[in-house]
A and B are shown apart, each in its own frame.
Chain A
Amino acid sequence: MALAAMFMMVPSPFGAVDYRAGAPMILLTLFALGILCVDLFLPASRKQYSAAPALLGLFAAGLATHEIQRVLPANGDALRGFFGIILVDPLAVYFFYLFLVGAALSILISVKYLEIERENHGEFYALLLACVVGMMCMAAGNDLVMLFIGLELMALSSYILVGFLRGNKRSNEAALKYLLLGAFSSAILAYGLSLFYGVSGTTNLAVLCDALTQRMEANPHDPIVLLAMLGVLAGMLFKIAAVPFHMWAPDVYEGAPTSVTGFMSVSVKAAGWAMMLRVLLFGLAPLRALYVPTLVFVALATLLVGNLAAITQHNLKRLLAYSSISHVGYMLLGLVASDGVTSRTGIKGILFYLLAYTFMNLGAFTVLTSLRRRNIAGDDIEDIAGLMQKAPMEAICMLIFLLSLAGIPPFAGFYGKYFIFLSLIETGHYALATVAVLFSVVGLYYYLRIANAMFVRTPATSEPVTVAAGVNLALIFSAAATIVIGLLPNIFIRAVDWSVSVLGPSVAQLR
């Protein structure tokens, strides 16, 4: 309160718009700090209580995001804040909701899991919230420095979350690998960003776009711009785990606590995509002719490696890691097809895909989380064998998630793939569309292998599967969302349409 009074008294260069645009991030930061302080005074047996303020913080941030969404139409569909370094437009608002839901579900499944692992600490929830703040900066950043800081905040928090099982060798190894590779990729990204600053003299994405347009007119194959673009692409493709920057994903996904793996495969990836879309469609729009061939190569390589490597996996977390790599391949094809100005279907597809993916993939990881029991790691395909006999509800939910991941019609995942393939056909990329459809058939095989283990095989151990209340809630919510999005896609298509509405006019205006 005293702090707020001080803010009132001094002449501030920032107004209500700035604070409104930054409100979700500011709220989450305050909650994260609050959780850290409260955790110091909680007795060791009550550390899981920190989950409640974390969920409350996410809810408060959700309300703040809703408030932004409410005032957006009156502000020309974008709130610019803090000298224009953050730009909260419908695209950012869409991603904000996605991050908040992903984080909330992850918290629900973490409580019991951390208790079993005996690593119940309040810092887990504080770090998760800090991670979400970083993601929001990536989704709303309109400035190279802001985007980079957001990326680093997210990355640093997730390095620690990956290594949260301190007594577990695999968790430590995963964290170290992720830290080293992540630091390299960040360095390459920062190098690319600095070159862009060098050629344009600005860090603002809109101004950068103008400067690059001029430069491209002078020399369409400018080597410095090409180098900068490759650096930035490498950094961002690393974060979404696209081939050839995917090596870390299987090891890190396997070693990390299962609930963190779920969070990383969904929200961290969505944040990487938010930054990709922001940078490639807004700042680097004039370089489209240069980056599309790169993306075609990366997308095909990602589909190939992701799908083929997933076939032979025995560890479910590794299998889902490769499957999540292959999903990135489909999404990249959406970016190849659509530039956001002449065609928006691909971008729509990416956004819809990320929405469906949040629920179906996190749902699958929710089931894996509940398989973790005393003395049973619960991440091998043997552990899920005969799940139908032990926990029929879980098995059926898992089947829904697997079918949705494979892209079978009545479920959410189908529409994600549908829009991607549609965008490819609309823009005349028939060969790419054919390849993508063929690879999704390969996907069906390894997803149904898990289903086969669950329904046909007999259980390997007699240890019962008990589902904690939080896990159950997350499971039912994810399954319901996967079905509802699949059955009533119109509501969600409208939301996606609203968020891509920002693309066409404003990007074209900059040209």
Chain B
Amino acid sequence: MWGFRALRARAGHTAGVPYAMPQNYIPIFVFLLVAFAVAAGTLLVATIVRPRNPEKVKGMAYECGIEVQEGSRKRYTVRFYIVAILFVIFDVETIFLFPWAVQFKQLGAYGFVEMIVFLGILVLGYLWVWKKGALEWI
């Protein structure tokens, strides 16, 4: 399986042969083409077939909240940005957790310790943010 030994061997200087990269991408390109064709085809057929009689009520917001009052380019409080940034940071953390969870058995106890160290640093950051008062909405 994809263990540490395999990784070690890959990192060595002996593995000098480049992979056949482009061939591996052919199925992806085919998939992309099919996806685009389906989407474009459906829209095209719908445009040709559907009846067309626009009126004012049809153009109104429908069950999607209230009518827009003013422009969205206004100043709003910087706290939103702080919350957004904190969200991004801790959201990215889960991206790193996921592959570890998938490979949990292969990575074993060492992988677990590594992850604890990683989470430890993040928790430290979390505590720092907390103590600084960035989580409070004054």
Q: How many residues on B have C-beta within 8 angstroms of the other chain's C-beta atoms?
A: 26
Partner of B110, one of A10, A36, A37: A10
Given contacts A3-B117, A83-B10, 8 further A-B contacts (CB under 8 A): A10-B112, A11-B110, A36-B124, A84-B12, A85-B11, A200-B18, A201-B19, A201-B21
A13-B4, A40-B131, A201-B21 known; A207+B113 contact, CB < 8 A:
no
- Contacts of A1-22 to chain B: CB distance below 8 A: 3, 6-7, 9-13
B5–chain A nearest beta-carbon distance, Å = 8
Do A10 and B109 have beta carbons less than 8 Å apart? Answer: yes
- Least CB separation from B124: chain A residue: A33
B124 neighbours in A (Cβ, 8 Å): 33, 36-37
Please tell me if A199 contacts chain B, counting CB pairs below 8 Å.
Answer: yes
Q: Tell me the bound Cα distance from A79 to B133 in angstroms.
A: 43
Q: Tell me the bound Cα distance from A83 to B10 in angstroms.
A: 8
- Least CB separation from A9: chain B residue: B109
Please tell me if B7 contacts chain A, counting CB pairs below 8 Å.
Answer: yes
- Least CB separation from A29: chain B residue: B121
Q: Tell me the bound Cα distance from A85 to B108 in angstroms.
A: 21
- Contacts of A104-159 to chain B: CB distance below 8 A: none
CB-defined interface of A185-228 with B at 8 Å, one 1/0 digit per residue? 00000000000001111101011001100100000000000000
Q: How many residues on A have C-beta within 8 angstroms of the other chain's C-beta atoms?
A: 26
A204–chain B nearest beta-carbon distance, Å = 6
Name A's B-contacting residues (CB within 8 A).
3, 6-7, 9-13, 33, 36-37, 40, 83-85, 198-202, 204, 206-207, 210-211, 214
A-B contact count (CB 8 A): 54
Please tell me if B105 contacts chain A, counting CB pairs below 8 Å.
Answer: no
Do B13 and A206 have beta carbons less than 8 Å apart? Answer: yes
B115–chain A nearest beta-carbon distance, Å = 12
Do B113 and A10 have beta carbons less than 8 Å apart? Answer: yes
Do B110 and A13 have beta carbons less than 8 Å apart? Answer: yes
A6-B113, A36-B128, A37-B124 known; A13+B16 contact, CB < 8 A:
no
- Contacts of B9-61 to chain A: CB distance below 8 A: 10-13, 15-16, 18-19, 21
Partner of B21, one of A10, A36, A37, A198: A198
A37 neighbours in B (Cβ, 8 Å): 124, 127-128
Q: Tell me the bound Cα distance from A164 to B132 in angstroms.
A: 17
A40-B131, A200-B18, A202-B18 known; A11+B13 contact, CB < 8 A:
no
Chain B's interface: helix, strand, loop or mixed, by majority? helix
Q: Tell me the bound Cα distance from A300 to B114 in angstroms.
A: 48
28 contacts between A and B (CB under 8 A): A6-B113, A6-B116, A7-B113, A10-B108, A10-B109, A10-B112, A10-B113, A11-B109, A11-B110, A13-B8, A36-B124, A36-B128, A37-B124, A83-B10, A83-B11, A84-B12, A198-B21, A199-B18, A200-B18, A201-B18, A201-B19, A201-B21, A202-B15, A204-B11, A204-B13, A207-B13, A207-B15, A211-B18
Q: Tell me the bound Cα distance from A482 to B127 in angstroms.
A: 44
Q: Tell me the bound Cα distance from A364 to B137 in angstroms.
A: 45
Of the listed residues B18, B19, B21, the one surrounded by the most CB atoms of chain A closer than 10 A to its CB is B18
A204 neighbours in B (Cβ, 8 Å): 11, 13
A200 neighbours in B (Cβ, 8 Å): 18
Which 10 residue pairs are nearest across A and B when measured between Cβ atoms?
Answer: A201-B19, A84-B11, A13-B4, A10-B109, A83-B11, A210-B16, A201-B18, A40-B131, A211-B18, A10-B110
B120 neighbours in A (Cβ, 8 Å): 3
A211 neighbours in B (Cβ, 8 Å): 16, 18
B15 neighbours in A (Cβ, 8 Å): 202, 207
- Least CB separation from B120: chain A residue: A3
A223–chain B nearest beta-carbon distance, Å = 15
Q: Tell me the bound Cα distance from A85 to B11 in angstroms.
A: 8
- Least CB separation from A143: chain B residue: B11
Q: Tell me the bound Cα distance from A12 to B110 in angstroms.
A: 6
B21 neighbours in A (Cβ, 8 Å): 198, 201
Q: Tell me the bound Cα distance from A207 to B112 in angstroms.
A: 30
A10-B113, A33-B124 known; A207+B16 contact, CB < 8 A:
yes
- Least CB separation from A83: chain B residue: B11
Q: Tell me the bound Cα distance from A211 to B15 in angstroms.
A: 10
Q: Tell me the bound Cα distance from A10 to B112 in angstroms.
A: 9
A198-B21, A201-B18, A201-B21 known; A83+B110 contact, CB < 8 A:
no
Q: Tell me the bound Cα distance from A200 to B19 in angstroms.
A: 7
A13 neighbours in B (Cβ, 8 Å): 4, 7-8, 110
- Least CB separation from A509: chain B residue: B13
